[in-house]
Amino acid sequence: MKISPYSPAAKEASIRLARTDDEETVVFSLLNFLNAISLHFEGSLRWTPHRVRFKFESGGAAFQARTDGYLKDHRTGNVIGIVGVRAGLRSSEKSIRMQESAEMVAWITSLSHAPKDLPGRSVLPLFTLSEFILTAA
């Protein structure tokens, strides 16, 4: 399998890893993993499978992005991190990279994003059947 920040798993991996029928299985697997590793940290942050929608408008252009889950600060209501999953192997198609980028842009520019005094603290964990990709902005 290739490990690269720019490319998906090798073509041979699709033989071993068939696409799952339900993306929700992948969502809950990732969120259970993230909650398990953050369980011992005190605070009000929790990973949730609830989908959240962000809107981005600039000039005459506008779009919406929906996440597969998020990290919420229950004290402030801020979205601290967003989650993206794929039901199968992640492809390197431009449309996939554009979707992931759009989610980050819409979230970072939203009002429910983490406080602006925490630059560089935006993170998108992406989970597929064979990969865990962490995008930070």
Of the given ranges (29-33, 42-46, 59-63), which has the lowest mean pLDDT?
A: 42-46
Q: What is the pLDDT of residue 59?
A: 86
Cα 30 to Cα 80: distance, rounded to the nearest angstrom: 16
Tell me the per-residue pLDDT of 86-114, one tens digit each, with 9 for 90 and over: 766 666 678 777 777 788 788 877 765 55
CATH topology of domain 22-136: tt1808, chain A (3.90.1570)
Q: What is the pLDDT of residue 56?
A: 85
Residue 1 banded pLDDT, cuts 50, 70, 90: very low
Tell me the per-residue pLDDT of 19-43, one tens digit each, with 9 for 90 and over: 667 777 778 888 888 888 877 777 7
Domain ranges for the chain, please list them: 22-136
pLDDT over 70 at 17, yes or no: no
Q: CB pairs under 8 A, 24+ apart, for 110-113?
A: 110/54, 110/55, 110/56, 110/79, 112/52, 112/54, 112/77, 112/78, 112/79, 113/78, 113/79
Q: What is the pLDDT of residue 13?
A: 56
